[in-house]
Amino acid sequence: MEASQSHLYPNIDISVWTRSCVQEIKTPIEGKVTGIIPLWLRGSLLRNGPGSTSVGPTKFNHLFDCSALLHRFAIQDGRVTYQCQFLRSNTWKKNRVANRIVVNEFATSAVPDPCHTIFDRMSSFFNIGETMTDNAVVSVYPFGDQVYALSEVPFMLRIDSETLETLERKSLIDSVVVNHTSHPHVMRNGDVYNVGVSTRKGRIRHVVVKFPFVEKGDMFEGAQIVGSMAPRWSLNPAYMHSFGITENYFVIVEQPLSISLGKFVCNQFTNNPIVSCLNWNPEYDTHITLINRKTGKEEKRYITETLFFVHIINCFEEEGYLNVDLCAYKDAKIIDGMYLEALENMQSNPNYADWFRSRAKRIQLPLLSPNLTRVAARQISDVGCEMPRINYSLCNGKAYRYFYAISSDVDSERPGSLIKVDTWNGQVTSWAEDHSFCSEPVFVPAPDAEDEDAGVLLSAILWNHEDTRVTLIVLDGQTMVELARVDFHTPSPVPKDLHGWFISENV
């Protein structure tokens, strides 16, 4: 009885989130293949996520703070290699030189420098580009022939997609935005769009930034604001990790988690972390705004229930409606659940599973309705889901049927399993193996495929109580049946990653 009371979630080993890499793998190692990898599958699965929970004697407080670690699974001719390397951000370099945390993160304050005076802090306020963290720990996206690591700060770090070396840092502070989402949209023609917060004519605006495609070179030189809207609260813009796009609209979801810009400014003097600027306001509904892609102007707002979301699954227009599909929570407690202390104490926290209880919901927006029409959110399926992915190249912004995700129900029989959801009927197909925990699934379409789900699903698997083992799993995208797996035994623990991208070598 005592064992069950102290171990509320016996099917999960939370150490997959708290592991630290202590030895990079710069020379790729080859894995052991079981099964058959389709020969058409050629390219690199790049992953990004927290790689180390401490610097010297100092520890980070939150997963979003940990030093970014890049992973690469290179697939060619039925064989796979693995390598990993820390992102060489300015923050990483400063921390390593000082052997302590010297830059404020999302939820971790820098260790105070006794030589750092109030005048130094005032000076740093006017040079925020050098004092704000650039630890881009969340995602990886292609911008033309270049690849960048991103988070929600206004810095992007270009990486070599083969060696994982950090090549350069791009700052958007002096150009278009003071922050942006971790999930831009890469269009079929190569253009990239993202949403951020900017100051325009002395006013705070949510803006849509376009990076026009160039076949070779820098897409940032042509960056331009192509849409904007006033925030719901002028000095407290909504927190957003992702946004939607359809044929005619940019879709902005303003949930009742806001960022206090006043507190953000004060933090430059008080050494408080970014999280202190967030305010959850459960008394407010959620607003959804459509920005016309042709005019760049706000066209219509809708009101729906109070909810929190991190990831939008997809948005599309159909028969006079615009559908917004997202992974919805009842509140923002998931952010608290990603504190390292909360993770370490989860087995004695009876509320922890509820913090992660997300469900896929669809919000239908009638395009011909009056402004501020109230709309309902309908549950697509009764299964926990996070890190959703679709057949992006075919279905982004268009009508679709399937999405893939990780099960977010930590109290389930097999937490962290892979799921495939049929949005037409709510049917769920899953893949799981005992003692394993899956990363975000990435769908790779088969060449010349006619069906939306014809292709393979890739996921990096970590194993409970085996911290130096990582497995790349290859599933059939239609049946969720395992086609192959590739096992790697590493010289150092492999931490849980967050997001990634598949760079195909097929022409």
pLDDT of residue 7: 84
pLDDT single digits (tens) 307-325: 999 999 999 999 999 999 9
The whole-angstrom separation of Cα 285 and Cα 447 is 44
pLDDT single digits (tens) 12-51: 888 899 999 999 999 999 999 999 999 999 999 999 999 9
**Domain segments of the chain as ranges:** 2-504
pLDDT of residue 4: 43
The whole-angstrom separation of Cα 287 and Cα 61 is 31
What DSSP string runs through 137-168?
A: -SEEEEETTEEEEE-SSSEEEEE-TTT--EEE
Of 414, 506, 504, 503, the C-alpha closest to 70 is: 503
pLDDT of residue 115: 55
CATH no. for 2-504: 2.130.10
- pTM, entire model: 0.95
Token couple for 353: 């599973």
The whole-angstrom separation of Cα 171 and Cα 88 is 15
Of 181, 179, 291, 186, the C-alpha closest to 243 is: 181
Average pLDDT for the chain: 93
pLDDT of residue 267: 81
Residues in the chain predicted with pLDDT less than 50, given as ranges, are: 1-5, 122-123, 125-126
